[in-house]
């Protein structure tokens, strides 16, 4: 009888112990998780067999991880945990400016307002001390060797608090030319049409023969002394003469002998003066 009454009490005590243990663990992990969340740690929740795992990973990539196990998905409420006094969140200093300098040679020397800087490389980054005022200037000078010669360039750079600026010495800088000297307007020269160069006079040749026939009103065919048939062309400038007087193309009759001067133009015999023999040859 005594054993039967003792068994329920033992069961109740065991359940109470487990509840208190889970509550203590939850309170411990809850305080730890709240502390990591306040320090900027990243929280992750993932389902696992029989429940959920919630953990925080260090934002500094140093391998530190803190986690808790839940048999149901965890819920979250606002935390009133105060970060420790030694915790300082990262802040952005908006009173300084950043200057990026690009140089063509990794060993180039760079000066800011006459002070030689120590960085090396073709892409360098500098920051100013806290600036007073909205606008400040630096004289940036760079020196490097190129093709066996020392090259030097200077730039005036204006910087503003919280802003960044790039000074590029790898590109050739443009230098302003002095003011151009104005020149009086010159009169416009009108192009004169080009006159064709005169050709030398064509060489006049002479030919003699008997008229075989006429073609149209400006051609006739003769038989030369060496038995060649030659077509002769006339034009409005051709002169026709017979017994010392002027005649025309119609006086070119078959079998009359003619003597004429001509020039060769495009493979043609162009007659300029034709002398017609008035007497017809005796028929044979």
Domains assigned to the chain: 2-70 (no CATH), 98-168 (2.60.40), 205-276 (2.40.50.320)
- Asked whether 205 and 217 are in contact (CB, 8 A), the reply is no
Please list the ranges in the chain whose pLDDT falls under 50. 1-2, 15, 19-20, 22-30, 38, 45-46, 48-49, 52, 69-83, 87, 89-90
Q: Report the DSSP pairing between strands 98-102 and 123-127.
A: antiparallel
- Eight-state DSSP code of residue 121: S
Average pLDDT of the chain? Answer: 75
Q: How far apart are CA 109 and CA 33, in angstroms?
A: 51
Q: How far apart are the first and last CA of the chain?
A: 183
Residue 119: enclosing H or E segment and its boundaries? Answer: none
Give residues with Cβ within 8 angstroms of 79, minimum separation 6: 34, 37, 38
pLDDT digits (tens, 9 = 90+) for 198-249: 766 656 788 899 999 999 889 999 999 899 999 999 999 899 998 888 998 9
Number of other CB atoms surrounding residue 272 within 10 Å: 15
């Amino acid at each position: 009888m005594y054993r039967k009454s003792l068994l329920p009490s033992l069961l109740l005590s065991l359940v109470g112990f487990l509840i208190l243990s889970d509550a203590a663990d939850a309170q411990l992990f809850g305080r730890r998780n709240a502390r990591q969340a306040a320090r900027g740690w990243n929280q992750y929740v993932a389902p696992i067999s029989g429940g959920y795992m919630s953990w925080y990973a260090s934002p500094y990539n140093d391998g530190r991880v803190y986690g808790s196990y839940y048999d149901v998905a965890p819920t979250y409420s606002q935390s009133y945990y105060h970060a420790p006094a030694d915790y300082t969140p990262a802040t952005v200093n908006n009173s300084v400016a950043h200057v990026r300098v690009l140089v063509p040679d990794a060993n180039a020397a760079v000066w800011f307002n006459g002070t030689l800087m120590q960085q090396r490389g073709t892409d360098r980054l500098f920051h100013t001390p806290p600036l007073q005022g909205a606008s400040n200037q630096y004289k940036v000078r760079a020196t490097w060797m190129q093709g066996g010669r020392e090259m030097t360039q200077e730039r005036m750079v204006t910087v503003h608090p919280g802003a960044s600026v790039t000074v590029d010495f790898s590109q050739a800088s443009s230098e302003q030319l002095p003011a151009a000297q104005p020149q009086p307007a010159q009169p416009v020269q009108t192009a004169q049409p080009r006159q064709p160069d005169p050709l030398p006079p064509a060489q006049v040749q002479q030919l003699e023969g008997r008229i075989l026939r006429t073609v149209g009103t400006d051609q006739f065919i003769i038989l030369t002394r060496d038995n060649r048939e030659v077509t002769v062309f006339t034009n409005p400038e051709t002169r026709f003469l017979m017994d010392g007087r002027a005649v025309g193309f119609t006086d070119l009759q078959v079998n009359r002998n003619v003597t004429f001067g001509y020039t060769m133009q495009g493979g043609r015999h162009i007659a300029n003066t034709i002398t017609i023999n008035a007497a017809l040859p005796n028929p044979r």
